[in-house]
Amino acid sequence: MNEPACEPLFLPVLHSFENNNIFSGSFGRMRFRVTPDITMKTPKEVDNDQSSMKAEVWHGEYCYEKSEIEDTRVFPLSPEGLEQMRAWLTEHVEQA
């Protein structure tokens, strides 16, 4: 049974990805993993224009390492990129 897509899909704040944290999550049977690709402007400052976030999606009950990735997309490391990723992931929930 599919979960309703009306409740928002949780993603961490952009700062979490700027700190090079990988995030994995799920919604119903849809699973996803977001891996940042960070470029530093200075030793303490992220270059958001050159950095990105790679999102990978699969469906099923198994973890990332035991699953076949169904779709992958790269998004800019920006508030707009985060919202684009949320919309893209939500499309995958609705396809399940």
3-state secondary structure of 45: strand
The list of the chain residues with pLDDT below 70 reads 1-7, 96
pLDDT score for 53: 98
Classify each residue of 44-68 as buried b or exposed e, where b means 16 or more C-beta atoms within 10 Å of its C-beta. Answer: eebebeebbbebbbbbeeeeeeebe
Dihedral sign for Cα 53, 56, 61, 67, please.
Answer: negative
| pLDDT at residue 78, as a whole number | 97
Q: What's residue 6's pLDDT? A: 55
Q: Would you state the pLDDT for residue 5? A: 46
What pTM did the predictor assign? 0.89
